């Protein structure tokens, strides 16, 4: 009588080598899935804005940094030729919006430092927008004052529309508003400051890379 021989494992379990191969394959698959999850999570998770409070010292000690970015006003103002512009026209650049007037002593004192800041970042996406709130009766004087601080150019807001569009409304002049490359207000400083200082440059450089 012939006997039927069965494999040592009874024909019910795969060889050990197959089990090892399967285990390696499973772990490799888990690793790939994990890597894809990390990559996908990083691409979906919104990037948090850079904390600008570290620059609130020295020349910028009076800087107010908002906990969350704020919408910039959509109010139009005028360029030197009288054409309407809005802050949205500068989107993609770090905007240093400065509200000033010819009768404001601290405004005139800080204006050369704003000019130095603009000159230092002439090749970078940075725009110093110096907006005079003088009435049109002082147009010649405003043009004369801004001409002393190249490369700054004149912008006008004779009716304070831009100033009133800021939330909260500035209490006085000068007021400088820092707007990021996404067009959001990130910080503000009321009163004069040295915008050519190390703190100011650090602030601007942080916002150039924060996009």
Per-chain mean pLDDT for the chain: 88
Instruction: Tell me what the mean pLDDT of segment 195-201 comes to.
Output: 98
- The most distant pair of C-alpha atoms in the chain lies apart, rounded to whole Å, by 124
Beta strands 126-132 and 94-100, pairing class:
parallel
Contact 114, 149 (CB under 8 A): yes
> What CATH number does residue 111 fall under?
3.40.30.10
Domains in the chain, number: 2
Query: For 134-167, what is each residue's pLDDT tens digit?
Result: 999 999 999 999 999 999 999 999 999 999 999 9
Which domain does 91 fall in, by range? Answer: 53-209
pLDDT of 32 reads: 59
Instruction: Tell me what the mean pLDDT of segment 24-43 comes to.
Output: 58
User: What is the model's pTM?
Assistant: 0.78
Residues 36, 66: one domain? no
pLDDT at 120 over 50: yes
Residues 16, 108: one domain? no
pLDDT at 38 over 60: no
Residues 93, 193: one domain? yes
- Comparing 45-49, 68-72, 102-106, which segment has the lowest mean pLDDT? 45-49
pLDDT of 124 reads: 98
pLDDT at 2 over 80: no
Q: How many angstroms separate the CA atoms of 119 and 192, rounded? A: 19
Residues 59, 40: one domain? no
Give how far the C-alpha of residue 13 lies from the chain's centroid of Cα atoms, to the nearest Å: 62
Break the chain down into helix, strand, coil percent, rounded to 5: 40, 20, 40
Instruction: Tell me what the mean pLDDT of segment 59-65 comes to.
Output: 98
pLDDT of 211 reads: 72
Length of the chain as a residue count:
211
């Amino acid at each position: 009588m012939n006997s039927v021989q069965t494999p040592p494992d009874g024909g019910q379990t795969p060889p050990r080598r197959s089990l090892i191969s399967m285990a390696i394959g499973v772990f490799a698959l888990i690793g790939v899935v994990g890597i894809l999850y990390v990559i996908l999570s990083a691409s979906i998770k919104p990037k948090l804005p850079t904390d600008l409070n570290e620059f609130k010292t020295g020349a910028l000690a009076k800087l107010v940094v908002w906990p969350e970015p704020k919408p910039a006003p959509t109010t139009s103002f005028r360029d030197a030729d009288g054409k309407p512009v809005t802050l949205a026209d500068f989107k993609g650049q770090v905007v240093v919006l400065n509200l000033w007037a010819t009768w404001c002593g601290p405004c005139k004192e800080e204006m050369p430092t704003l000019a130095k800041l603009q000159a230092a970042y002439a090749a970078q996406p940075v725009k110093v927008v110096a907006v005079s709130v003088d009435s049109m009766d002082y147009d010649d004087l405003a043009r004369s004052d801004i001409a002393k601080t190249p490369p700054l150019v004149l912008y006008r807001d004779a009716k304070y529309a831009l100033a009133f569009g800021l939330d909260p409304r500035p209490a006085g002049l000068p007021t400088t508003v820092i707007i990021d490359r996404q067009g959001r207000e990130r910080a503000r400083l009321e009163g004069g400051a040295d915008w050519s200082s190390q703190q100011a440059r650090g602030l601007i450089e942080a916002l150039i890379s924060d996009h």
